Structure 1
Amino acid sequence: MSHLYKSWPPGLSRRTLPFVILALVAMLALVIPFDEALSRGAQALPEAGRTAFLSITNYGLSDWVLLPTLALAILLGIAAALTRPEPWKSALGEGAQIFAFIFICVGFPGLFTAIVKRLLGRGRPENLDAVGALGFQHFVNDHSFQSFPSGHTTTSFALAYAIGFLWPKAFWPLLVVAVLVGISRVVIGVHFPSDVLAGAVVGTVLAFAVRNVFVRRGWLFAREADGAIRRRPLAGLAALFQSRSR
């Protein structure tokens, strides 16, 4: 989990950015020729397998993350502004920052993906027979032509990193779930493998970008002497729980 403490995912930096972009384009170019075969093969799985993936795919919806985190960030922020006694004031402020971070860390990649998929207008697998795996209707707000990148995959990967930045031990279980969500999008026939790959990249990179903004602002995270980025101690919440446990 050491990469969670770095500014960017492994291999990515300002110096390597052009090479990373070329590598991602090359990777997509290798995957796209197999999109149709992989998509049809995944959809041909036994019904029991498809049902299992149907049960997990909605984890990638953003509403269940964005709505409560936004509401809690606002309510806790207002409560912190109106509260005077410590450690309540600090604890409420820290809670507001945590929920605001999760909201932005998931919402920004999701917004980016929503814009890109509408601009590109790639046809979903349901349109395979009509337009193939590379059929496009640019700038048309038609859900059946909003395949690239996968929004559910973007959300699930961004959420895994958002929580992982805050509590690293939770990262790997959430990453496994994110991978399963990505696979589910192919199995249930709403995305191609290349859509899922792109969504994973967008969710990961933009989650790091949001965390870097918080670091520069001194919000919730700090860069330590060894260059590692870690969450600041939640002193207010710790003090509040200690006082309540006495």
Structure 2
Amino acid sequence: MVNGDIFYFSWELDFLHWLQGIHNPILDKIMINATNLEDYVLILLLIFIGLTVFPRSRKIGGTLLVATIVCFLIVNVGMKTFITRCRPCWLEPSVKLLVNAPHSFSFPSGHTNAFFAMATAVFLRNKKIGIPCLAIASLIAFSRLYLFVHWPTDVLGGIVTGIVSAIIGYMAIEALSKLFGRIKKRIKEKKYENKFEIN
């Protein structure tokens, strides 16, 4: 039984069929492991929270945390609730899947969204570490196509929403950092003024 609205470009299904033709045991294992990295998102969130405790990593931890929360709200709470797009694996159930068929709607790709949000957040703070993170995010995005659970435009949508979420996270932390900086400066000035008056 097909769930959701069926809309896709013809080239998308052609591309997914082509990917099915290049399957082999080595690629299968790589793609399954890549897509299963989502199982560690909760652990990553705890790490992000931990990073905010230390002054040197506070900004990158805060950016990662905000970006992850924003991307979850945009995609899982927002877009997937209103855009009820059918997945390719629902449309063609005869295709043998290497992973369990997801139950949520297709657009945009949640895996792609989450990992591009995190990778872009790292890149905005540290390009040297961010580049390999973006490479991993790209592999995860590709795995969703290889495994026949997303349309290419789902993945493109996930990339865009992930990057936007990271930029929002970056800007939010920068704004908070400046705000707290001004508050801290004002407190110091007030203490100095009080000390001067007492003397």
TM-score in same-fold range (> 0.5) = yes
> Letter of the aligned partner of 1:112 in structure 2?
I
Higher Cα Rg, which structure: 2
> Letter of the aligned partner of 2:147 in structure 1?
I
Q: Which ranges in structure 2 are unaligned for 5 or more consecutive residues?
A: 1-6, 94-101, 182-199
- The alignment partner of 1:218 has SS state of helix
The alpha-carbon deviation at position 150 of structure 1 amounts to 0.3
- The alignment partner of 1:200 has SS state of helix
Preserved CA contact (<8 Å) 2:12 2:151: yes
1:204 aligns with 2:163: yes
> Letter of the aligned partner of 2:72 in structure 1?
G
CA distance in 1, matches of 2:128, 2:51: 23
Residue number in structure 2 paired with 1:114: 76
> Letter of the aligned partner of 2:137 in structure 1?
A
1:63 aligns with 2:42: yes
2:173 to 195, 199, 214: 214
The alpha-carbon deviation at position 40 of structure 1 amounts to 2.3
> Letter of the aligned partner of 2:111 in structure 1?
H
**TM-score when scaled to structure 1?**
0.58
> Letter of the aligned partner of 1:189 in structure 2?
F
CA deviation string 1:156-181 (max 9, x = no partner): 11111111122121122111111111
> Letter of the aligned partner of 1:119 in structure 2?
F
Pair 1:171–1:94, CA change in 2 (3 A): closer
CA distance in 2, matches of 1:198, 1:208: 15
* Aligned pairs for 1:46-125 within 5 A: 46-48=23-25, 49-61=27-39, 62-70=41-49, 72=50, 76=53, 92-115=54-77, 116-125=79-88
- The alignment partner of 1:112 has SS state of helix
* Aligned pairs for 1:19-38 within 5 A: 32-38=9-15
1:41 aligns with 2:18: yes
Q: Which ranges in structure 1 are unaligned for 5 or more consecutive residues?
A: 1-28, 77-91, 131-142, 223-246
Pair 1:64–1:185, CA change in 2 (3 A): farther
CA distance in 1, matches of 2:104, 2:63: 31
Q: Comparing both structures, which one devotes a greater share of its residues to helix?
A: 2
Preserved CA contact (<8 Å) 1:66 1:107: no
User: Number of residues paired by the alignment?
Assistant: 164
Pair 1:201–1:160, CA change in 2 (3 A): same
CA distance in 1, matches of 2:178, 2:24: 47
Preserved CA contact (<8 Å) 2:63 2:166: no
> Letter of the aligned partner of 1:147 in structure 2?
S
Identity %: 26
The alpha-carbon deviation at position 219 of structure 1 amounts to 5.3
CA distance in 1, matches of 2:61, 2:130: 17
Q: CA RMSD in A?
A: 2.8
